Chain A
Amino acid sequence: MGRYVVRRLLQMIPVFIGATLLIFLMVNVMGDPIAGLCGERQCDAATAAQLKKEFGLDKPVWQQYLTYMGNVFTGDFGTAFNGQKVTELMATAFPVTIRLTIVAILIEVVIGITLGVVTGLRRGRPVDTSVLLGTLVVISVPTFVTGLLLQLLLGVEWGWIKPSVSTDATFGELIVPGLVLASVSLAYVTRLTRTSIAENRRSDYVRTAVAKGLPRRRVIIRHLLRNSLIPVVTFIGTDIGALMGGAIVTERIFNIHGVGYQLYQGILRQNTQTVVGFVTVLVLVFLVANLLVDLLYAVLDPRIRYA
């Protein structure tokens, strides 16, 4: 187990370097970021040169990358164009997005798996059909439509919630945005669980468990669900990263100042330091989440063991 973890951690290094390098190059080919800083006019040459020097943009790209990576390992992610440290931006953005992600994942897990189990056990019944239809609708309607619609109905028409999330972005305020963010994944989780449950229901160990006279609840939760969760856990694990990085639409609609917002601003202003910094952290989140998923397999299915 220990060796497996170490090997996985070592594998993360080339992935990490490759991903950051790619992002770095992509942001750099977009042109000179200083050019956009002075509005509709041209920055005067001396100030532009001075700014380039300050942000290290006067050096060749490979050198910029090396310096950047060197700094990252000491915890210095550079400075954004508005004079703020990128780490400072992260400290304000990540907690918000993490809260939003937690809300979304919780909704996915609780509602998604429950619906999945219910429909899996009642395959072909009206409940199953109606939930399937529901998930089909959720998957096919884009997030921004669901978001704007909920915002308009709950926020403006009925006045149940505030249409935008305040600076504090508390858990309570994030429930509706979290629901919107989770909606598509929620549908997938439901369908994955349903299929998996339906498949395993007829397997030998379930029949044995039932034959032993175990209570129905125990059969479902301990035997059936545990084994059926493997594909679902994989999906949710990769979804953590996707939700954090992909919250951009939801964050825009509900005015949440999280990672998506900072990334959007960074790209719009072509702020290399912000974009690369945030993406670097997101890459790490992805990698760690994947590792955790792999380790969880062993917990769920004792047959899977890492030597």
Chain B
Amino acid sequence: MRGATHAKWAACAAAVALAATACGGDSGSGSSGGDSSAVLSSSWGDPQNPLEPANTNEVQGGKVLDMIFRGLKRYDPKTGAAKDMLAEKIDTTDSQNFTVTVKAGWKFSNGEAVTAKSFVDAWNYGAGLKNNQKNAYFFGYIEGYDKVHPESGTQTADTLSGLKVTGDRTFTVKLTQKFSTFPDTLGYPAFAPLPQAFYTDHAGWIKKPVGNGPYTVQSYTKGSKMSLRKWDAYPGTDKAQNGGVDLKVYTDNNTAYTDLMAGNLDLVDDVPAAQLKNVKSDLGSRYLNTPAGIIQTLAFPFYDKDWNTSGAVKVRQGLSMAINRQQITDTIFQKTRTPATDWTSPVLGTKGGFQDGLCGSGCEYNPSEAKKLVKEGGGLPGGQVKITYNADTGSHKEWVDAVCNSINNALGNDKACVGNPVGTFADFRTQITQKKMSGPFRAGWQMDYPLIQNFLQPLYYTNASSNDGHWSNKDFDKLVNQANTETDTTKAIGIFQNAEKVVRDNMAAIPLWYQNGSAGWSDRLSNVALNPFSVPVYNEIKVG
């Protein structure tokens, strides 16, 4: 009985709270076809790093940056193509020296004008070693990076020598090498402009970031909630179609989903795996499951001589053919993954370099051929492969076990493959960095920008930043260099695809599947879409 009275109490408290938020949130009129002043609530995760453009490398922080910043370029939410945003034009004759002209009339939400200096200062800050920015390497192609961000010791310069402000709205960029798709990388949040307040009152800015995007930060309680409101004076064409967004941090995406079901939340952008079975009946058409720029692969330790033999190529190909991708994506992932047939992602589009089926028979399930290839390649090193993964996040255990099961069945040996869990992501990364992997390991790649270059160079170029397996191939490196110098984009993409074929022929990594982004929303919302980075396009969402 007591329990019952308590529940009633709670119900009253909840009702009062609901009424209060309803009063606070809805100040405008409710016209049909979307209330442009209504606020929606959305699930969020606590950003791992301080919210600075060059310091944010995960989705949760990136979500906010996408709402409060606009850079020189912006990736089209639908096609992923890089389109001019603040850039009036970016000129080059040699793919190495660029002249950037910033559009007139842009302002930060605190009234300060966005000038060429806003960009140059921000980039210098982002590159500076002493500022601890985790995305500093994005500026690595700009001349003078080695002085501002030396590999060891302290920095000897505060500004990149390759950046020069030549006018109020123009600046030049000089790169250390030819990089034809450089302008297309400028849509990445790390290249966002920053207002003076960022440098003069850094602590205050971190508490309440000020940008130049369609939303402004109204309040920010770290670790629990950020309230963003439409910035009425926003000069861009992609104005917010709603009054604002309240991002609420959830400890668990299951709770977020429950809140959505109870009408307590408007949007979840990560439907928990456990709910995928019910999502259709729960939400009907208010559910979205579209490919994102994420691919999962199995990487190999090429520093281990067992995996670097001449026959190992065949073993890797055999393993790839022993994996029943279709079955695993259907059963384990409920079709929220798509079997991979190349090393990029469908979000690039065929024009951007995605080529369906580039992997060919090497990525098709063929147990008998798999068994034959592994045998021809000299068998599994040590008689067994161990797939290493971190067990703390994602459902890595489930799919690794399934992959192993598939391999064991194909090879007719129930000890051929086992999973090797590592407790935490940090420990997993430590072991990779220290080259301690003895067999294949989980690798995932979420693109920084929708370019084929981004799916290949950081992962397979000799000593590249994310080449965790330390694969090295002269032909591949040569083709990538060649593609980067090619000024004609279509040709450059063609050369990148040739480089990808080198990856295929050597099976440098086994492509597993492309990951989808998912979202579910309440009946208050319409026009919900996910961009190629699997982040909701907040400014286009209509409420009411």
Contacts and interface: CB of A to CB of B under 8 A. Distances in A.
A83 interface: yes
B262 A46 contact: no
Interface stretch (B23-31, B149-157, B309-317): B149-157
Nearest to A35: B429
Contacts of A152: 258
Interface stretch (B410-418, B419-427, B471-479): B419-427
B250 interface: yes
B2 interface: yes
Interface stretch (B88-96, B98-106, B131-139, B496-504): B131-139
B151 A36 contact: no
Interface stretch (B12-20, B348-356, B395-403, B487-495): B12-20
A38 B134 contact: yes
B258 A155 contact: yes
A30 B223 contact: no
Contacts of A36: 424-430
B427 A31 contact: yes
Contact of A161 (B14, B130, B430): B14
Interface string B249-266: 111101110110111110
A25 to B, nearest CB: 15
B49 A82 contact: yes
A31 B431 contact: yes
A51 B443 contact: no
Interface stretch (B3-11, B67-75, B372-380, B515-523): B3-11
Interface string A237-270: 0000000000000011111110001101101111
A39 B58 contact: yes
A255 B261 CA distance: 15
A166 interface: yes
A47 B133 contact: yes
A88 B50 CA distance: 14
A255 B250 contact: yes
B251 A39 contact: no
A294 interface: no
Contacts of A161: 7, 10-11, 14
Contact of A37 (B49, B254, B392): B49
Interface string A75-109: 00000011110001100100000000000000000
B2 to A, nearest CB: 6
A170 B262 contact: no
B255 A254 contact: yes
Interface string A147-180: 0000110111001111110110010110110010
A279 to B, nearest CB: 17
A58 interface: no
B83 to A, nearest CB: 26
Q: What bracket does the count of chain A residues touching chain B fall in?
A: 35 or more
A268 B224 CA distance: 17
A28 to B, nearest CB: 11
Contacts of B198: none
Contact of A162 (B18, B423, B432): B18
B84 interface: no
A24 B50 CA distance: 24
Contacts of B206: 83
A35 B433 contact: yes
A111 B455 CA distance: 60
B252 A255 contact: yes
Given A36-B425, A45-B151, A154-B7, A257 B249 contact: yes
A204 interface: no
A42 interface: yes
A130 B542 CA distance: 54
B129 A47 contact: yes
18 contacts: A31-B430, A32-B429, A35-B426, A41-B458, A42-B429, A42-B468, A44-B136, A47-B129, A51-B132, A83-B49, A83-B50, A162-B262, A164-B250, A164-B259, A179-B6, A257-B224, A257-B251, A269-B48
Interface of B: 2-3, 6-14, 17-18, 46-50, 57-58, 129-130, 132-134, 136-137, 149-152, 206, 221-225, 248-252, 254-256, 258-259, 261-265, 392-393, 423-433, 443-446, 458, 465-466, 468
Closest 8 CB pairs of A and B: A172-B13, A36-B426, A35-B429, A31-B430, A83-B50, A31-B427, A270-B426, A160-B11
